[in-house]
C-alpha cells in the first residue's frame, strides 16, 4: 500500500512520479509562457475558507445549482482532454464523480453516458466546419448531456512549449472518440 495523501498538492508529485513524462507535461503545463496557468494558481491560493464558530453544524448542506441544475457541492472538475493517458478508465472514472466532458476526450459522449446517471455538461470548441459542431452537439444531447460548456478563448491552439519539446502525440490506441467518423481535418481548425 502506498503512502497516505494528506493534501491536494501531493497528487501532483505522485502524478509526476507515475506518469510518462509526455503525459505528465501535457496535464501540468499551459500555453505560451504559462502566464495564465501561474495567474490561476495564484488566484486560487487567495481563496480562503472563513471559519464559523459557535454555530449549529449538526446539518450541513453544500448543495447548489449550476444553470438551474442541482449539484451536491460547489465544486466541478473542468474538462480535461486525453484522460486515458493517465489511467485506462480515463473519462469513465471522472464521469462517475464529475460532470463535464472535454470535446477532446479519449472516451465518447455515449461511452461516458453509459457510466450511469448524472448531470453532465459537454465542453465544446467551435470549429470552422459548423456541421462538425452540430454533429457533436446532437450526439451530446442524444447521450443525455444537459448543457454545452462553450470554450471561446481558443481562436487558435495555444503554443504549449512542453508539448513542442516532447513532440506530443497521443499514445498508440488512444483517439479523440467524439470525432471518430467525422471529417474534421486538423486540430488547428478551431475558430
Strands 69-71 and 121-125, how do they pair? unpaired
In DSSP notation, 112-137 reads HHTT-----EEEEEPBSSHHHHHHHH
pLDDT by residue for the chain (191 residues), tens only, comes to: 567 888 888 989 999 999 999 999 999 998 889 999 999 999 989 998 888 888 888 888 989 998 888 888 887 777 888 999 999 988 888 887 777 788 888 888 998 888 877 788 899 988 888 888 999 999 999 999 988 988 887 777 788 888 999 999 988 988 889 888 776 554 444 44
Contact by Cβ (8 Å): 124, 150: yes
Neighbours of 140 (CB within 10 A): 26
Cα-flanking dihedrals φ and ψ of residue 105, to 5°?
A: -75, 155
Q: In what order do the strands lie in the sheet with 147-151?
A: 100-101, 121-125, 147-151
CA neighbor of 140 nearest in space, from 157, 116, 121, 159: 121
* CATH fit for domain 58-179, picks 3.40.50.2300, 3.40.1390.10, 3.40.50.2000, 3.20.20.70: 3.20.20.70
124 has which bridge partners?
A: 150
* pTM for the full predicted model: 0.68
The domain locations on the chain are 58-179
Return d(Cα 191, Cα 179) in angstroms, integer: 17
Amino acid at each position: 500500500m502506498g503512502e497516505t495523501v494528506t493534501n491536494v498538492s501531493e497528487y501532483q508529485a505522485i502524478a509526476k512520479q507515475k506518469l510518462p513524462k509526455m503525459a505528465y507535461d501535457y496535464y501540468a503545463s499551459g500555453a505560451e509562457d504559462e502566464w495564465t496557468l501561474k495567474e490561476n494558481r495564484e488566484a486560487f491560493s487567495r481563496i480562503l475558507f472563513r471559519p464559523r464558530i459557535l454555530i449549529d453544524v449538526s446539518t450541513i448542506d453544500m448543495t447548489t445549482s449550476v444553470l438551474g441544475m442541482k449539484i451536491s457541492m460547489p465544486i466541478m472538475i473542468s474538462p480535461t482532454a486525453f484522460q486515458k493517458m493517465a489511467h485506462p478508465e480515463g473519462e469513465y472514472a471522472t464521469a462517475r464523480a464529475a460532470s463535464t466532458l472535454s470535446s477532446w476526450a479519449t472516451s465518447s459522449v455515449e461511452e461516458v453516458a453509459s457510466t450511469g446517471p448524472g448531470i453532465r455538461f459537454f465542453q465544446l470548441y467551435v470549429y470552422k466546419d459548423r456541421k462538425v459542431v452540430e454533429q457533436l452537439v446532437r450526439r451530446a444531447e442524444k447521450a443525455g448531456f444537459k448543457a454545452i460548456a462553450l470554450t471561446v478563448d481558443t481562436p487558435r491552439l495555444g503554443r504549449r512549449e512542453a508539448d513542442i519539446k516532447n513532440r506530443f502525440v497521443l499514445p498508440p490506441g488512444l483517439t479523440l472518440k467524439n470525432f471518430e467518423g467525422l471529417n474534421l481535418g486538423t486540430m488547428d481548425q478551431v475558430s
